[in-house]
Structure 1
């Protein structure tokens, strides 16, 4: 009995294993059938998406494209499995398929129900099913080819993707450079720099196609002119204040009361001008100028006064550099200074920029020493050595001469000739034209 039980159990396991294997094959076939259509369509759409993404973002990470393709396949496989599971076959049903294919006359069903012993399994169990690999492999291969094409087919970058960003108006770059220079020098109030940067950012926030529109260029030109006017104003007022302080410091003992009042008024006007504009010196310098009493310059520390003047000069120089008056213009200053200029009294040491006595005035030899005249424009005779080489139109000789005028009066002639002496226009045409010509000329001038 034990041997019979062991053999029966062995037969049962063999048949059940064959039924489970058949069920897995059937279910796998249903999953492939449901997946085939969406796999091809989804792969085609994925390949197109990959090509478009590679076209638009050529600098994207290389691993992202295969990862995206793998994620697409995983989603399609999961959806197909959920749809196909409604048709999946259980091992018991596959057992019926086996006994029908092998014509066992319900022997397996009866043995599974426990009413009959399990038959001895043959060497090969046939479920009556087979794979058509051409139909099974075609959709996955097509999907694989499409995705590989989307990953590796060469595509050109989107026009302009690898190009530099659109160039903005030159005025914006110039204002940016000026603001950066003023910020580094730390000589002006930060509020002006922040306001100008905010206005530039508002202009840049617009669509690039509108950067060079009429309205945008007008706004840019207005902002540029305002910025240039502020630079010129601060440079001018800082220079006036510095010159006034310098003259008061150097000539405090020799100045008349009237001249001293003029310099004090000049300093007050310059200080007021620096405070009124949008571009002002930094708070520290401005407070020092406001607290300064020019009447008490003699009581101040010379080092502190010199430092104050240096700060004013630094402020004016920064504004001048922003306007293009930096080191590149030194050669022009040297040229305009001339060779024979004499320094004036007071602070100024160049022509026209003297101190309280105004200096020497105009500089001699502004453009250098005058060279020898080349007599350009004079007509001179060239002596031709070989007249055989002369060309028509060549000038050979110039000489002065006078017209030879015949002053003899016309006399009367007898025998049918003109009886009177010609005068005026009569002498020109009446004696040389026939009657028809004379009448024609007369009608023309009437």
Structure 2
């Protein structure tokens, strides 16, 4: 049967074990705080990365990885804190020191004194620091929850922006200029922009496909053709108006009728094409009556011509921008006989024609006609370039002979041959050299005796 002394011993030993576990748990949390926060930051970043690159990964696997990582960190922290752990005997000493029992528990543990009765209140001399305990734990939970719950999406592969075909930019620039200066009807601009939008609506990888480039080229050529046509018809209308003014005083009915017909054709060409001039300008042209020039005042006529010239110059400028516009087709110019030479000149066809020009006299393309030939120019392909003047070839002299290489020319010098003008000297057979006289100065031989006899016999026999 248990005695009161045994009950007191059990009570104090249990209290010592409880205090020991509490102290050891505090040491473990103290060692765990810093690694736990660092691991939570790294873990949150890792979770976001895995979810972004591999969105199909189940959340259960991610949660299992979190639990496994925390377990490893806790084990490492427990191993690090073991050196600071308390035993039950050390906790008994802590209890008797805090409760001022004057070594009663140590003496009872050694068996030299009875176990004291348990007090009403137990004070181990320790208490929890809740802010220091909870902040790392809450921070870790928040970081890991953010890594699991923040929405992420897999990044798309980086794409370099595809540059649109240059022809689209050129056409759009022309349309903006036409709209800003109000040179053409809005219907044409809207239709062209719609066609451009249809080309841009394709996938970027199809912008430079064969079919897309063909459609772009067709649209560009159609646009340039319309600009060229409107500019040509405006020029014809302006020219017809100027000629009508000049011939009005002369009273030539046939010429006036021809010019009026030419103006009507130009007006009809402006009205029938896809691109039409500004509605206000077109209305003024329609109200112009070539057969009744008196219906317009001088100011109205001048204003109409200025509007025509301004619109025509605007079209011509757009043809020259970016090197794409080439002006009117040269075959059309030959057939129509419209001159663009410098000054008034005679046509080169089978008949006379007056060239068109601005300043001074000069040769130009003639104004053709049915009975006067096409009036084309003898300089159809433009002005001939000036010939380059090529002079004599001149050698370069190297002043620095230290840099000369084998084969370099060092010097050129003019001089005369050094001729030896002294008499010739012929030496032969050991005879004494001497300068001959007369014929001997030209040639003299020295013969040995046998040769002399042979020569004497030969010539003596010849005399006989």
Q: TM-score, normalised by structure 2?
A: 0.45
Per chain length, whose mean CA-contact separation is higher, i.e. which structure has more relative contact order (CA < 8 Å, sep 6+)?
A: 1
